[in-house]
Amino acid sequence: MSAAALRARVRAELTDEIKAVARRHLAIDGANLSLRAVARDLGMASSAVYRYFASRDELLTALIIDAYDALGASAESAEAPVDRADRLARWLAVCHAVRDWALAHPHEYTLIYGSPVPGYRAPRDTVPPATRVALLIGGILRDGPVTAPVSDQITGPLAAELATVGAVIAPGAPPHLLAHGIAAWIHLLGAVSFELIGQLDNVIDERRAFFEHQMRAAATLAGFAA
């Protein structure tokens, strides 16, 4: 290994270490992460961090991208081995992967799906990693029958809009199934956030079973069970 490459690797390793410590600090400060506290934990001067991240916001952005990628990777590798034809199983694999990851990394989940950080504006780099899980669900939708029961027709401007969105995500899917697909996605994130925030405390203890029951119901509406 050349000297330059070695230096680059050391640099990359310390960058990772800073992010790792910062991730731990999310648990304490939430999104108003303190650069100085991170530097202190690493035993280095606070100014040294600026060799690695141009500002606090840039560090925050790196954490956000990593979180989206970790969540996306986790969902992808849970969904990939499932029989392509079993769309319900694929959907449930995604659901549990998202929930498990969120429970294992609550503060990172909050960073990406919690309340917006006051004063922080996410740059465009965060968009592609943010769409990974949604794309998985789009795939499940797309692999279904093109024609589906029209139990609840959607008409008017919403139908037109869904057609436009659908052309990208799941071409051929009828609007009401697409709507239920997006609704399922929203319900999934809502259920995970609800549990994480603690709203289920003193109400439901059988959380995994209750979660799965909800997600099965959402799947029925979206036609994943067919």
**7, 28, 52, 73, 144 from 105: Cα distances, Å:** 31, 13, 24, 14, 32
**33, 111, 135, 183, 225 from 217: Cα distances, Å:** 38, 28, 21, 11, 9
Among 114, 132, 139, 163, binds a copy of itself (CB under 8 A): 114
Q: 28 contacts which partner out of DNA, a copy of itself, none, CB within 5 to 8 A by kind? A: a copy of itself
Cα(223)–Cα(176) distance, integer angstroms:
10
Q: 118 contacts which partner out of DNA, a copy of itself, none, CB within 5 to 8 A by kind? A: a copy of itself
**Position 121 contacts DNA (CB under 7 A):** no
* CA triple 72-220-89, angle to 5 deg: 45
Burial letters for 55-69: b for 16+ Cβ neighbours within 10 Å, e otherwise? Answer: ebbebbbbbbbbbbe
User: In this complex, which beta carbon is closest to a copy of itself, that of residue 14 or of residue 163?
Assistant: 163
**Position 85 contacts DNA (CB under 7 A):** no
Among 80, 161, 171, 226, binds a copy of itself (CB under 8 A): 161
- Which residue from 225, 211, 182, 216 is spatially nearest to 100, judged by alpha carbons? 211
For residue 24, the minimal CB distance to DNA (Å) is: 13
User: In this complex, which beta carbon is closest to a copy of itself, that of residue 75 or of residue 191?
Assistant: 191
Among 216, 219, 224, 226, binds a copy of itself (CB under 8 A): 216
Residue with tokens 């929930």: 99
Among 36, 84, 208, 213, binds DNA (CB under 7 A): 36
**Position 203 contacts DNA (CB under 7 A):** no
Are the beta carbons of 109 and 101 closer than 8 angstroms? yes
**Position 33 contacts DNA (CB under 7 A):** yes
Cα(93)–Cα(75) distance, integer angstroms:
7
User: In this complex, which beta carbon is closest to a copy of itself, that of residue 97 or of residue 112?
Assistant: 112
Q: 104 contacts which partner out of DNA, a copy of itself, none, CB within 5 to 8 A by kind? A: none
Q: 201 contacts which partner out of a copy of itself, DNA, none, CB within 5 to 8 A by kind? A: none
Residues engaged in binding DNA (CB under 7 A) = 2-4, 6-7, 11, 14, 33-37, 40, 43-48, 50-52, 55-57
